Amino acid sequence: MPKAKLLALLDGRFVSDNINPILVGPTGVGKTHVLTAIGLAACTAGYRVLFTTAAELCMNLITAKREDRLKQRLANYERYQLILIDELGYVPFEKEATDLLYQVIAQRYERASIAVTTNLAFTDWTQVFPDPMTASVVVDRLVHHSMIFEFSGESHRLRTRKGGRPPKGA
């Protein structure tokens, strides 16, 4: 992963340019830490930022829809200049949830930034989105104006565990 390309995000300009940072890689390699750093830098630069997991976002959208408050919830997300979505791909969603997630992404397309962490290659997003067409459209919209960062390596948690420390409670 090119360090200079990553450091360029920390000035926050990508937000005003509506660029979507996408952090792809296996579990435990630092994607969430980098996502958090990007969000903090954007806050420091004066942008309104929301951090959420994909599961939490989908649950909030479903709840809002069932309570007939979806329009207000979607309008609330528009207030943020950057939405950070962590862990897209860790939990598969029902079609209703992914359709709602699509609405958030489509609403922000070319108008506001979304930063995402995922453990899945784009070709595997059908594991999260039950409808292959929705998966394709979401990838297309996110990637169109994006900076993609590919992480690799062994999980930091597993690597430090091998250091001989016993698990808690042992």
pLDDT band at 165 (very low <50, low <70, confident <90, very high): low
What tens digit of pLDDT does each residue of 91-120 get?
888 999 999 999 999 999 999 999 999 999
What tens digit of pLDDT does each residue of 7-50 get?
889 999 999 999 999 999 999 999 999 999 999 999 999 999 99
DSSP letter (8 states) at residue 167: P
Say how far apart CA 30 and CA 117 lie, in whole Å: 10
**Residue 24 in contact with residue 149, Cβ under 8 Å?**
yes
**Residue 108 in contact with residue 140, Cβ under 8 Å?**
no
Domains delineated in the chain: 3-151 (3.40.50.300)
**Residue 2 in contact with residue 128, Cβ under 8 Å?**
no
